[in-house]
Structure 1
Amino acid sequence: MKLLPINIVALLFLLFSCKNEQKTQDSNFDSGQLSFETEEVTKTQGQPVIKNKNETTTRGYQYFENYDPIVKMVSGRVQLPNGWRRVKNDKQYQYVGPNDMKIGRIQMSNLFSYTEDYGMLQTFQMSGTPNQYPMSINQIVETYFMPYANENNLQFIKSFPLPKVAEKSKTFLELNFKSQPTQIETESAGLEWKDNKGRKYLTILRKTVYKTYNQWSWGFLNQHIEAPASKFDNAKKIFIDMTLSEQHNTDWLYRKNQIAARKANQQYQEHVARMNAIKLNSSNSGFSSSSVASTYSDILDINHSGYLKRSDMTSHGQTRTVNMISERNIISNHNTGEHYNVQAGSKNYWVNNNGKYFGTDNPNYDPRIDRRINQTEWSQFNIEN
């Protein structure tokens, strides 16, 4: 059974970490070189101290390790009884065990957003982003699970809370890098199902909400185990125990947070540089669009170019009608919240940290790899209208 066949996005911290852990390698890894967080966490002067645990097996159990190809190291591991094995090259199942038990792969929802801030609402409208208030567990089941269940002759039996799973998820997510103060709320439930072929299923559903000062981001993930009805009680225990046994490599977590922090800092520095460049360009009449065009005149991919100025900056409420009449485009960077009104006529726009921009119709052209102009940092901006 493959519940909830929905799109995967790389999303903020929950989706990022879980998506990477889903990409596993079937070869064995030497966990003797790794340090893992365990459920045994103590506190010293209010700070968590994670103890190392390097054994590869426990009596009657074995570890299965997950590999993160982005960070290029083992991200974590889970524990299953002896007799289970990892499935190779299977998009639906991750592990199979005795008595025809099977554990599916983690599936993740899109990352949804909700805000009551007027400025953010305008941004949502301009970019076509739905303003979706976080659903309850019951609403998620009705909206995303029941249509699939009805189409595949699955009968919903019951749901029950899994507070320890939710608490474990929150503990891990709190350790992830955050670029701004963020409140994290987690909730988890077990969903039981049965089909008309004598099999039963348990889905573990985990929902997370990230709250910042003006926006909520939320999403959910799910994974399931299936087994013959006569073996279901045992399968259910194995699956919940496996979920609670999950350990994360602390070296991986440290490196992942470093990558996220560097990216956030780079985006901030680019934003500051552009703001400073705009101030300079607005007060220096010697900088003009024609001078930029002359600088890049030998690059055939460029259709329009210029310097961003204060007059180019737009409010979130800039209308499409005005832009159509004046043949202008609003371009934006959702990472920094910047919006600019620039000359229309191009399908793609790039802005550098000196406040220069250009437009091109070539989707394959990337100034970051063009030696003629890649001495500065370039960021691609989206067309909002």
Structure 2
Amino acid sequence: MIRKKNIIVSFLLAMVAFILVGCKTSIPSVQETKQDMVGKSYYNKYGEYKISSIKEIQTFNITEKEVNKQERSYIILGDIVLNKEFINIKDKIRISYKYIPEQGWKIQNIQSVDDNLIKLKLEKLLQEKDIKKLLEGSYLEYNNADRYITWGIKKEDEIKKLIIKDRKTNKEEMKDDISIELISKNDTEELNADINLKCSFNVYENKWNIDSIKMTKAEKKLLSGVGNNTIKNMLVYKSIPNYIQNIEYGDSWDYYWDIDNEKEIKKINIIEQNTDLNGYTDNVKAEIELEKENIRVKGIINLAFKYDESHGWKLEKIDTPKPFSFTLLKDMTNDIDTIKKDVVGNKFMYQGGFWGNYWIIEEGEIQNIQINKKTPFYYGNTIVLLTHLELKGSSETILGDVYIEYSLNSKTNTWELKGITKVNNFEKK
């Protein structure tokens, strides 16, 4: 028993020695603290600043420190100067350490001590490469008495030349008014312009923003007719007429394909092109593949474009010389046995009008069934089958053509027969 107590006492003394001596002698040095801060986020009233490398820490001096031996924690108060990409941050910070067994001292938090002590200084101005990035996604307008020019910069690499001609910088207010000369090209045009930019540094987001942009001089030059990318962009929110053959079934708008986004356009390829740069026209014959919901289609479209300096190329007309070929992503139209089974029990008018004659298809009455044409509607979620039927009843045999309509149930993902409609009056055999 005495021996057991001695072991416990020795263990407790060792732990106390570790806390009193180990913690005191192993707390991080200034250099180790700087290294520990790398990869951590530092918070002040302007937001979060991640310390990416030790080079960003220009200076760091410890002014106070406190060790809590019981909680194995260590708090440092210090003065820090951080160099971020564009600004210099001077602040007093509080660093909270915690001792983790088998890992050592680990930073738990870095926080600004007093918002009033924070000092920010603009260290670096926007360079040409920085302005290029800022201009990505910009929409430019030039408007004077007799000319109106617009230009969109979708990607940074569309800017072929950018020169800073003049600037007025207010480092205290972190604002920069810049005059630039710009040359930008897209697939078909080139813009030469003088532009005034008003920029400000957002300390909360730690980045430059363009507050206003104005073209003071602009010249546009037409380089070529439309390309595949231009066509693809212009087809969005347009309708392709008569992409399926009209069978006088359903509403006329059922025969239009409305392109809602570029993802629907799986392929576009120019086959023939007649461009008149002097007359500002371009007529294109192109092969196109579209996919939406339950259908993929392929066909030829004729496109007529007109150019004007204000807005560039504009799509004025879309024509389909013949219906597109199509593939249903989920198909059942080749399963004749299932169709024969589905029509049994269905009632349809085979002669006459409103007060016509009706036939209920019974088991064994189908002598012949032949699908002659398949027409998709609602992007392949409905399929209408032009079908030749020969039915033998107890007293007569009739034959004729019907439309058999199927719809794809979105919940069960199965095809359901919706109805049978005669094309013309049936004949008796």
TM-score (norm 1): 0.27
Q: Relative contact order, CA 8 A, sep 6+: which one is greater?
A: 1
Indicate the structure with greater strand content: 2
Indicate the structure with greater helix content: 1
